[in-house]
Amino acid sequence: MRYFLELVLQRLIRHPDDVDLRQIEETGHTTFQISVHPEDIGRVIGRNGKTINAIRGVLNAAGSRSDTRVTVQLFENSAA
């Protein structure tokens, strides 16, 4: 799942060096915290949230195969 998320983000955004991806594992639950450059936040969210919702949907489908709930949190990278 992490590899998929990294691949999608690298292709989607304009500042791939400013991506900070953290994965937090708990029993039955995985949280991905994504921090991106302020100019890229809109590209990741997409029009009406369609892009981020599609990413969440694919990750949840992949997680359901191993009975894992997946949460994706998006943050603006303040260091950029």
In percent, how much of the chain has pLDDT > 90?
85
d(CA 7, CA 27): 25
User: Tens digits of per-residue pLDDT, 16-72?
Assistant: 999 999 999 999 899 999 999 999 999 999 999 999 999 999 999 999 998 999 999
The 69-76 sheet, strands edge to edge: 20-26, 29-36, 69-76
Q: How confident is the model at residue 78 (pLDDT cuts 50, 70, 90)?
A: confident
Give the pLDDT of residue 77: 81
H-state helical runs in 19-68: 41-45, 50-64
Beta-bridged to residue 52, according to DSSP, are: none
Q: How far apart are the first and last CA of the chain?
A: 26
